Amino acid sequence: MAQPLHLQKVPSHNGQAHGRAFLAFCALASLYCGVFVECFASVARFERTGIMAGLVFGTITLGGVARTLAVAAVALLALTLLAARDSVARTIERHRYALALVVLVVLVALELSGSSLSYWSSYFGQPTWDDVLFGIPRWIRSDEWCVFTPFSLSQSVSGNEAVSSLIRGGNTDVTMVYAQPAWSVATLYRPFLWGYLLLGASRGLSLFWCARAMALVLVSYELMLLVADGRRRLAAYGAVLIGFSPLVEWWFAVNGTVELLVFGQGLVLALHHVLRAPTRPRRWGWSALLAWLLGCYALIIYPAWQVPFVYVFGSLGIVDVVLWRRSLGDSGAPPRAASLLLPLGTCVALSVAGVGLGVAGAWDAIQASLSTVYPGERFFTGQGIMRIAGNPTTALVSSLWPDLYTGNVCESSAFVSLMPVGVALALYHTIRGIRRGVDATLVGLLVPYGFLLAYGLVGFPPLLAKVTGLSLVFTERLPLALGYLDVALLVRALALVCEPDKGDAVRAGSAHARAARTDAARTVLGVVAALVLSAAFVLVAHHTNPQLMGVKASCLLACGFLVLLVPVCLPGSFFAAARHGRSTWLLVSTLVVATSSLCINPLQRGTAVLTQSDLVQAVARVASHDKDATWIADTSQDGQACIVAGAPTINCVNTYPNLGLWRALDPQRTQEDVYNRYAYIEAGLAESTSFELVANDCFRVHVAPDDVSKLGVTYWLSRAPLEDWNTPRVAFVSLERVGAYTIYRIDVTE
């Protein structure tokens, strides 16, 4: 009996043609990687030496061409081998957790991280990249290298206290606001900080970076497997687009960006396994994991990103419950409610109790943070997302020219999601499936997408914004959730394209010739669509960031988008007939995203660039002989170096205000609006005492010499000659000079 047309083999010459097309596609992707890596090498060389030479500066040399071709050849070889030998991919996939663990152990043993900590050497005026193995320390990530990481290193000095004796000069809770490693209940819900407690500062930093990166890719892969109905390469495609998103990479170390995606996706996966657990012990185990992940998610404490994802992951959870009920069908009755609710209820109650204990212990700090002028209790109603709608078009080149962005490159970063292609394909499949049954997963992704997009486009009335929790979300934080949904919609739509459609096969005709003509026409249209969309994305990029989009950036973007769009735009029949299916082509295109994003953060070894610096060592020597003394510095950046040395410093970055201290200088509280905020704090001597607001997160305190005693400080780290401000009552005595800095002891005569 003859096979239906959609199951018949395509003539071999078509398979050969598709094989040649695949090879050409791999060559294009590999060439892009070679050119991008050479451009990045010239940027890194400029950052190290100041020499403007190389491809990105328009200098073409024989060595540069050779390096470009060498990288392209290696990439092409790896791609073709991976495509030709499916057993390699299967082995990696089968042993992914063991392989990840081995790699993690090696990276942590070598103390490798993605921190931009080496930028401290430039700040101290002695730039050195001795600890940077690859990439560029990013000065713009100051909230990582200057704030978060020094806080973590100071915890190792103070014994990982829950109430730090160093930050703000002492008595600062570190378990909630800018959460740090500490021996506290709250840290049970922050697994990526455990390395600091168990392995020390340097390896703790390495574990913090590496474990989060691996967890993000692995968890994203598992959830994309559900979204893609088990298609491994398509799931890997989605995992790379999520794990190597430029938005995630630029925000990698702060605000719980990675934790949000790891714990949120983990909640959906845990629910999936709770519902389908074959035995009672397993159901209890998965319930315990779900409850713990719920606590982890709650204690991220960054509502601007948490709230949108509540709708995203909540919708996916509801879809999973619906699909679970459908899967039961006539095969059997669902388990009793008690068998599900008892383990879930018990575990969630215990987890909520743990979170409650952690919050109760830090309640004063939380209240102090909420009552600040900045950030305080902010209220938003949405709108304005169109002004950042073009950000995804420039994300591929953000690691090359971050300083040329119209605004902050971190705020302008986005997912490389090919938006709005995924939404268009999802809507097409949804409308097409109305008569045959709408895909539940697509609906579960489109509903939160439309809801969040409506908030970003037209805004909500104040009451609706408050009730939905979106009053805590400003528009610039929506792209993380919307970008994630763009990727998930694209993966789901392509998974549906991969399914054989008998109706299309019948309509295509009964003869191979007619089918071939239809295939050829669709392929031509697909290639044209990819070219048109690539051009459109580049034009939008020009409009969004005209300063960034020179000839080189335009060419790179055009090539990159073409590689990403070709496998999305070509028809399913093309891939059904090819030796290499659509998922393989998509996996090849992820090389473009990975190459671009891996250049954002450096590969850094250890913490010596800060902890062993001359300044930190000098401060540590003085502090070790006068452990009860309190310090002040010219700037919060200098104060951060002091706390790493073990010196309690009142004007390191204040995560919440020390109102009692500043009110000593302002007893009438006339300037409280200036200092009642999260702040970088500059300090200097002046004729009279006053406060000056520099920015929303920065103020300067001008202190009269005779008022210094009100601050309770004994030492001042300064670049200025403080001896000029000596008075009969207060003397600034120079103790030690380190580079441009001098450590002064403050002697007060009562």
The pLDDT tens digits of the residues spanning 649-684 come to 999 999 999 999 999 999 999 999 999 999 999 999
Final residue belonging to a domain, choices 49, 84, 119: 84
Residues 456-469 have a mean pLDDT of 95
Residue 498's alpha-carbon distances to 233, 370, 467, in angstroms, are 12, 50, 40
Model pLDDT, residue 747: 94
Is residue 278 situated within a structural domain? no
What total number of domains does the chain contain? 2
pLDDT value of position 583: 75
Dist. CA 205–CA 659, nearest whole Å:
32
pLDDT for the residue 517: 61
- Predicted confidence at residue 340, as pLDDT, reads 85
pLDDT band at 449 (very low <50, low <70, confident <90, very high): very high
Q: Is residue 286 part of a domain?
A: no
More confident: 214 or 582:
214
Strands of the 730-738 sheet, one edge to the other: 631-633, 715-718, 741-748, 730-738
At 422 the pLDDT is: 92
- Provide the domain limits for residue 653: 613-748
Contact 429, 258 (CB under 8 A): no
Give the integer Cα–Cα distance in Å for 669 and 681. 18
Using the predicted structure, report yes or no on whether residue 613 has a pLDDT greater than 90: yes
Dist. CA 296–CA 430, nearest whole Å: 34
Q: What is the mean pLDDT of residues 29-39?
A: 93
Instruction: Note the pLDDT of residue 63.
Output: 86
**Does the pLDDT value for residue 9 go beyond 50?**
no
Torsion of CA 313, 316, 322, 328, to 10 degrees: -100
Residue that finishes a domain, picked among 48, 65, 84: 84
pLDDT of residue 48: 87
Q: What percent of the chain has pLDDT over 90?
A: 68
Query: What does the pLDDT read at residue 16?
Result: 65
- What is 206-258 written as a DSSP string? HHHHHHHHHHHHHHHHHHHHHHTTT-HHHHHHHHHHHHT-HHHHHTTTSTTHH
The answer to whether residue 7 scores a pLDDT higher than 50 is no
Is residue 574 in some structural domain?
A: no
What average pLDDT does this structure show over 514-519? 60
Nearest to 44 by CA among 56, 34, 33, 59: 56
Domain's final residue, options 53, 68, 84: 84
**Burial class (CB within 10 angstroms; exposed 0-12, middle 13-18, buried 19+) of 367:** exposed
**Could you give the C-alpha distances from 637 to 123, 145, 166, 658, in angstroms and in order?**
9, 10, 14, 18
Question: What pLDDT digit, counting tens, does each position of 214-270 carry?
Answer: 999 999 999 999 999 998 889 999 999 999 999 999 999 888 899 999 999 999 999
Q: Is residue 631 part of a domain?
A: yes
17 has pLDDT over 60: yes
pLDDT at position 750? 74
Determine what percent of the chain is predicted with pLDDT higher than 70: 92
Report the first-to-last Cα separation within the chain, whole angstroms: 108
Binned at pLDDT 50, 70 and 90, residue 175 comes out as: very high
DSSP E strands in 584-740: the ranges are: 603-605, 631-633, 680-685, 690-695, 698-703, 715-718, 730-738
Whether 705 is covered by a domain: the verdict is yes
In this predicted structure, what is the pLDDT of residue 14? Answer: 56
In a domain, 656, yes or no: yes
In Å, what is the CA distance from 594 to each residue of 70, 99, 113, 319, 415?
18, 19, 17, 30, 12
The partner residues of 445 in beta bridges, in order of sequence, read none
**Which residue's structure tokens are 């305190």?**
701
DSSP 192: G
pLDDT tens per residue across span 271-320: 999 999 988 999 999 999 999 999 999 999 899 999 999 999 999 999 99
Check if the beta carbon of residue 472 is closer than 8 Å to that of residue 303: yes
Q: What is the pLDDT of residue 64?
A: 87
Which residues are 743's β-sheet partners? 717, 736
Model pLDDT for residues 421-442, shown as the tens digit of each residue: 999 999 988 988 887 788 999 9
Q: Considering the domain boundaries, does residue 717 fall inside one?
A: yes
Taking only the tens place, the pLDDT of each residue in 56-102 is 888 888 888 999 999 999 998 888 777 766 777 788 889 999 999 99
Mean pLDDT across the chain, nearest whole number?
89
**What is the predicted pLDDT for the residue at 502?**
43
Q: Is residue 462 part of a domain?
A: no
Stretch among 248-252, 481-485, 519-523 having the lowest mean pLDDT? 519-523
